[in-house]
Structures are given as structure tokens and as C-alpha cells.
Amino acid sequence: MTSGQSGGSRKTALVVGSDSKVAPAVRKVLPGWKIARADNNSAALEMLKAQPYDLVLTGEESSGKQDVELLRKIRIVRPHVRLIIITTESTPSDVIAAMRERAFSYFSQPYSMAVFEQMLHLATTGPVWDEGIEILSATPELIQLIARCDLKTADRLIQFIHEVSNLPPKEKEAVGFAFREMLMNAIEHGAQFNSTQHVEISYIRAKHMVLCRVKDPGEGFALDEVRHAAIMNPPTNPLRHTAIRDKQGLRPGGFGILLTRNIIDELIYGETGNEVVLIKYLKSDQLETN
């Protein structure tokens, strides 16, 4: 159950601004929900003071910085409301500030409507008392955090990292894919989907490279022992791992390490195998100027 409403009452989403895409997405993903509208952040805050809402979605007319300030004020009157920031004006510092203030998710233009709709669904499920992501230290160049070992938290964290990575589209997609694969491996194989466990994450953005470190709470493994991964298939049998995964009751897949090695410049495992570092080097013509 989400904040402010009893189990039998109709859920309500507060949509801020005039974005024509948000309200239809809410109706599609959350049928039966009531949609309230606020012209701007000031009006939204006054409406939240007057009554609770289960979900708040900011508008594109305000910047990420302004939306974080709104979230700070909302936390005083509605500490558990879930808020998704949608903006056209954003910086990595804004994304970090949103994570610190426990925004549920963050989207800057252009963004994927499919991912946005998925996040809408995730925002309406699960407990409200623990948002699953804790920042230990953060600047736009170095972020250190811990995250709960469940798929919902992983999806939220992947979207935050996507937003904070100030990269050209091709490199952003490559880093995002690789980070997702290694994070999912850590949660599935390292933590065994145990939501009481946490993974450690570090993200470093240097001038000419991006580095991501993922450490899971498991005992680790030797890479040459993971016969359920495609990277260990012999050349004569490139799909051998699928039968092994089926026998072990694992989900379809197993291509993560192999694909990651093909798109990331360096993939480095620690001695025990429960820690991995991903490095993507950036050429001068790939660097963004903003």
C-alpha cells in the first residue's frame, strides 16, 4: 500500500505541469487511478499540504534543481510519498540530489516511454518505508552507494545511473547495458535474490573514462567454473550453457559477461570473484562539452 490512502480507497496521482505524455501513461499503466493536476510546483505543494497523494510526477516546465527543492518541501508534510522527477533541464548534481532526497526515479528528455511506464508500475508496488538505495558519498565524478538486492531496486538504480552519466548516447547505452548485466549477476548469483542483502556500487567519471564497480555479498566464484555462462561455451557448442542453465533451474540468459566484454574496454574481476570493475575509455571526440 502506498502513502496516504487506505487500502479500499481510490489511488490518486498528482501530475504537475502540462506534459501531454504523462497523464495518458498513468491512465494506461494504472487504470482506475484518479489523476489530479497542478499547474506548477508551488500549486502542487499546496495541494499536498491539503491532502495526500499516492504518487507525484513533476512537469517538464521546471528544472531538475527546482523539482528536488519541491521534493525537500514535500518530505516535511508527506514524508513517504513517491515522486518521479520529469524534466528537460538537468545536471548530474541534480540527479544525485534527487537520490539523496529519495526520489523514486528521475527522467530527463529524451527518455524512453517504455522505461517510464515500467517505473510507474514499480512505483505503485512494495513497501514505502525503505527505498532501497543509500548514498554513502557522491559528487558528479564519484558516487559510492549500497543498494538492496532485489530487481525493483536494481531497475531504479539503473535509471539513476543512466541519468547521472554525462556521456554521448552510444557510450551511455554501452555503459548502461554493461552495468545492468553485472548488477543483475550480483543480485542473482551473488545475493541469491535475498532482499536483506546489499550490493556495493561505485561510479567514477573521469575525463577520459567511466568506471563502475559492483561488489556483491556472495562468496564469489572462479570465472572458469561458471559453466552456466555463455562465455565458457566451447567454439563447437556456442549454446551449451542453455542446457546447463535449464538443468540448474536458472532463468534464460547467461550472455551477460560475454556481451559486456564485447562492449566494455576492460572487465576486471577481483580475486574471489564477487567484485567486478567495468571500464569504458572515451576518446576526445566522444566527450560531451556540457
pLDDT surpassing 90 at residue 51: yes
CB contact at 8 A, 82 and 110: no
Give the least confident one: 11-20, 28-37, 75-84, 232-241.
Answer: 232-241
Q: For 203-222, write each residue's pLDDT tens digit.
A: 999 999 999 999 999 987 65
Q: For 83-133, write each residue's pLDDT tens digit.
A: 999 999 999 999 999 999 999 999 998 899 999 999 999 998 876 656 799
Q: For 222-276, write each residue's pLDDT tens digit.
A: 555 555 554 444 556 544 446 554 665 555 444 567 678 888 899 999 988 899 9
Q: For 22-35, write each residue's pLDDT tens digit.
A: 989 999 999 999 99
CATH architecture of 1-128: 3-Layer(aba) Sandwich (3.40)
Return the beta strands (E) in the chain as ranges. Answer: 12-16, 34-38, 55-57, 82-87, 105-108, 133-138, 142-148, 198-206, 209-215, 266-269, 275-281
Domain boundaries, the chain: 1-128, 132-290
Confidence of residue 20 (pLDDT cuts 50, 70, 90): confident
CATH architecture of 132-290: 2-Layer Sandwich (3.30)
> Please, what is the Cα angle at 192 between 190 and 193, to 5 degrees?
115
CB contact at 8 A, 44 and 73: no
pLDDT for residue 247: 60
Dist CA 161 CA 177 (whole Å): 11
Prediction pTM value: 0.83
Domain pair 1-128 / 132-290, same fold: no
Mean pLDDT of the chain: 85
pLDDT for residue 91: 94
pLDDT for residue 234: 53
